[in-house]
Amino acid sequence: MARYDDLNTGTLGYLTFMSVILLIITVLLLQALCYNWIDWQEDVKQTKQSYNTADDFLKSQKDSLNEFKKVQVTVPVEIPAADAGTAPKVEMQTQERIHIPIGEAEAILLKKLKSKAAPAPST
């Protein structure tokens, strides 16, 4: 009768060891998942910030061009043909273009080149 009251220590030791290993693996996987989630959130923030920066830059470019005169120009536009053997069609379409006087265009270009010019290497 005493045999039925004794605990099977070998099986208990094995199950305890396997439970600890399983717990360690679970904790490590959870930690990796959290770090991956944090990195993903930082990437999302940087992407949104770069889009906002690009949008702001495009808006500033458009605002700087608002002071120039806009003209309507008729230009030929090539429309691809439906069949491969036929020639593409050319239609005239009206597009809006910005007219910048040559003197002002030179000033803008020189200003841009000076701002991007790298210093000469010293010898």
Q: What is the pLDDT of residue 121?
A: 62
Q: Which domain holds residue 4?
A: 1-35
In a domain, residue 107? The reply is no
Among the residue ranges 7-16, 36-45, 47-56, 104-113, the one predicted with the least confidence is 47-56
| 71 closest CA partner among 105, 102, 101, 97 | 97
Q: What is the pLDDT of residue 119?
A: 63
In a domain, residue 7? The reply is yes
Cα dihedral 26, 27, 31, 37 in deg (nearest 10): 40
In a domain, residue 28? The reply is yes
Q: What is the pLDDT of residues 35-49, one digit of tens each?
A: 999 999 998 888 877
Q: pLDDT class for 118, splitting at 50, 70, 90?
A: low
| 73 closest CA partner among 91, 97, 90 | 97
pLDDT at 111 over 70: yes
In a domain, residue 11? The reply is yes
CA distance 18 to 10: 12
Q: Which helix (H) or strand (E) holds 89?
A: strand 89-99
Beta carbons of 69 and 99 less than 8 angstroms apart:
yes
If one counts the domains in the chain, the total is: 1
Q: What is the pLDDT of residues 22-76, one digit of tens each?
A: 999 999 999 999 999 999 999 888 887 777 777 888 888 888 777 788 888 888 8
In a domain, residue 24? The reply is yes
Average pLDDT over residues 90-100: 86
Q: What is the pLDDT of residue 84?
A: 74
In a domain, residue 121? The reply is no
Q: What is the pLDDT of residue 1?
A: 47
In a domain, residue 99? The reply is no
In a domain, residue 55? The reply is no
